Amino acid sequence: MATQTFSLERVNTPTGQMLVVTDDECCLRAVDWEDHEQRMLGLLRRQYGASAFRLREASHQSAARRALLAYFEGDMDAVARQPTATNGTDFQRKVWCALRRIPVGLTIRYGALAARIGRPAAARAVGLANGANPIAIIVPCHRVIGANASLTGYGGGLDRKRWLLAHENACPAPHGSSMPGGRHDP
């Protein structure tokens, strides 16, 4: 199998510097925060194999970078149009596809997401697939919450998850409280 070469960009955002990985067809392969670079590289190694890809510094700004910056500037739909390519399992890709269909401004519980993909008893497996998502924000795993509507684990950290949901007006925290409010998709 030939080694794939992906382009790597570093993007300053209000949530910290992000890493954006794209292929030669302009498809997004990974997005994560710089302080979670090892996690991102681990996910890429699991998907493609340790020696099946290499990263090079991007020679120009990608459409993915521009979409991510537009998202942070308030254009919530900019990332929805960004093409992605992943190499996860069939189940993971099904979960990631369902994540992209969660509307901006809404959250969903793991169990409801499992039911939505036709696997109502697979809430834990959905959670694992959610955690293996290599494309933060664009594949909006931050919109998935716990059964009791609490914010649960997020690869970028709960503070970033809280910020992203507030940015999308999905989970405004009441003043002085870390408990989420907002609208939920059952």
CA 36/CA 1 separation, integer angstroms: 28
Q: Token digits for 68?
A: 């991510």
- Per the annotation, the verdict on 141 as an active-site residue is yes
In DSSP terms, 30 is beta-bridged to: 21
- Residue corresponding to tokens 């519980």: 109
| DSSP letter (8 states) at residue 60 | S
Continuous segment of H or E residues that includes residue 111: helix 110-116
Q: What is the dihedral of CA 82, 86, 90, 93, to 10 degrees?
A: -30
In the set 26, 97, 141, 171, the catalytic residue is 141
In DSSP terms, 32 is beta-bridged to: 19
Q: Mind telling me the catalytic residues?
A: 141
